[in-house]
Amino acid sequence: DAKTTQPNSMESNEEEPVHLPCNHSTISGTDYIHWYRQLPSQGPEYVIHGLTSNVNNRMASLAIAEDRKSSTLILHRATLRDAAVYYCILSEMYSGGGADGLTFGKGTHLIIQP
Amino acid sequence: GAVVSQHPSRVICKSGTSVKIECRSLDFQATTMFWYRQFPKQSLMLMATSNEGSKATYEQGVEKDKFLINHASLTLSTLTVTSAHPEDSSFYICSARDQAGGYTFGSGTRLTVV
């Protein structure tokens, strides 16, 4: 799987938007961009995924650069419960064939200040 | 959405004994499940891929005789840590691919070997 680069940590204030960047300059044409987050002592939780177009769901938005070499996870209004480690992961296939596990990097530790 | 149940959430065992961890897909069938290990302050590391009805595939450096994986049904995979030692103390997390191809994670098992 292609590698991703994320800042080690970011800090934000409660109820403000948070933009978490991810660089993936070696992304291939079939790589999907996945975001997961992990709260302390829990398993990772799916946040959002996309291929080329920007995506929105109830948790977050995913903005994908036109050249797909970077993406940004957007939390529109952070709460204390959003404090977690956020992982940006590339995976070749989302649906259909393929059965590879995900390769986790170090992720971004998001700190939310009240 | 897809749910993966992992049990137990926490276990303490004596050095030299074996421990079994269960991972169940509750509302979907999972032909492929994954086992990860996470040491404190580190990211998740894929240990093995568990395939229903066939042998597991282990990542490089993971001892297959020490970490026994059984995936006897479409909803259950088990990981047995045999002859556990203190260095096996870690957070073990399972994951399953759901029918849409996404990854759902269990809540993890904190293993402490004393």
Comparing CA positions, the residue from A114, A112, A107, A113 lying closest to residue A37 is A107
Closest C-alpha among A38, A71, A74 to residue A58: A74
Q: Does A102 touch chain B (CB under 8 A)?
A: yes
The residue among B69, B108, B89 whose CA lies nearest residue B15 is B89
Edge to edge, the sheet with strand B19-25 lists B4-7, B19-25, B76-81, B67-73
- CB-nearest to A101 from B34, B100, B101 is B34
Least CB–CB distance from B101: residue in A95, A103, A105: A95
B27-82 pLDDT tens trace: 999 889 999 999 999 999 999 999 888 889 999 999 999 999 999 899 999 999 99
Interface test with A, best of B33, B43, B55, B111 (most A CBs within 10 A): B43
pLDDT digits (tens, 9 = 90+) for B15-37: 999 999 999 999 999 889 999 99
For A112, how many CA atoms within 13 A lie in the half-sphere containing its CB?
Answer: 20
Tokens found for residue B16: 């030299």
pLDDT per residue over A41-98, tens digit each?
A: 999 999 999 999 999 999 999 999 999 999 999 999 999 999 999 999 998 765 544 5
Q: Which amino acid appears at position A15 of this protein?
A: E
B49 contact A CB<8A:
yes
